[in-house]
Amino acid sequence: MIKYEYFFSRSIYIVFKLPASGFVMEYTIKIENVVASTQIGENIDLVKISKEIKDSEYKPKQFPGLVLRTSEPKAAALVFRSGKIVCTGSKSVEDARRAVKQIVKMLKGIGISVIDEPDVKVQNIVASADLGTDLNLNAIAVGLGLENVEYEPEQFPGLVYRLTDPRVVVLIFGSGKMVVTGGKSPEDAQKAVEKISKELKMLGLM
């Protein structure tokens, strides 16, 4: 019987599968980027922000949003006049929320009226994983079902696999590395990697 042990430390899941007799497999899933959004108010004065906060960039002729960066945690936020914020670049959901709180504090510090504790919603989590073995993508494309995958090696070296549960898109490469995108939580990436590794084992492709 296999025992599953999971622990999450900031941006990395490490998953061990341990039967009673000893070690079977180990792989890691690393969170590369968290995209989150929130609403901090309305009629936000972007010109005032650009003049009073040095870590900001506002070029309305090129893009309607203002770019505001935080250093700890490191993230970048698009702030719109409507009060919507899109935060990207964080390495964990916790850091995305911390970055939004920091931005709220900065804006309040220069007299901008904003919501004290806005509701932060995760829109997308991009994670990477490594199965630790080379993969035959041609065989995988056939085994997983051509209706579920896209594989055109002349155009892109990876195989695109769309899952419905969890609802994510996974890029699988011949090196055994994967990129999981579209998840709403770190657990979505973990479930996707685990599901794919099981499917590949059942097909005798890993």
Which candidate, 15, 3, 11, 7, places its Cα nearest to that of 130?
15
User: Are residues 118 and 44 located together in one domain of the fold?
Assistant: yes
Which candidate, 74, 70, 72, places its Cα nearest to that of 33?
74
- For residue range 68-125, what is the model confidence (pLDDT) as tens digits? 999 889 999 999 999 999 999 999 999 999 999 999 999 999 999 999 999 999 999 9
Q: What is the pLDDT of residue 28?
A: 80
Domain with 144 in it: 131-206
Is residue 16 scored above 50 in pLDDT?
Answer: no
User: Are residues 137 and 205 located together in one domain of the fold?
Assistant: yes
Distance CA 185, CA 180 (A): 11
User: Are residues 138 and 89 located together in one domain of the fold?
Assistant: no
DSSP class of residue 25 equals: E
Domain stops at, among 122, 139, 167: 122
User: Are residues 171 and 205 located together in one domain of the fold?
Assistant: yes
- For residue range 84-96, what is the model confidence (pLDDT) as tens digits? 999 999 999 999 9
Q: What is the pLDDT of residue 110?
A: 96
- For residue range 147-162, what is the model confidence (pLDDT) as tens digits? 889 999 999 999 999 9
Q: What is the CATH number of the domain that holds 97?
A: 3.30.310.10
Number of domains comprising the chain: 2
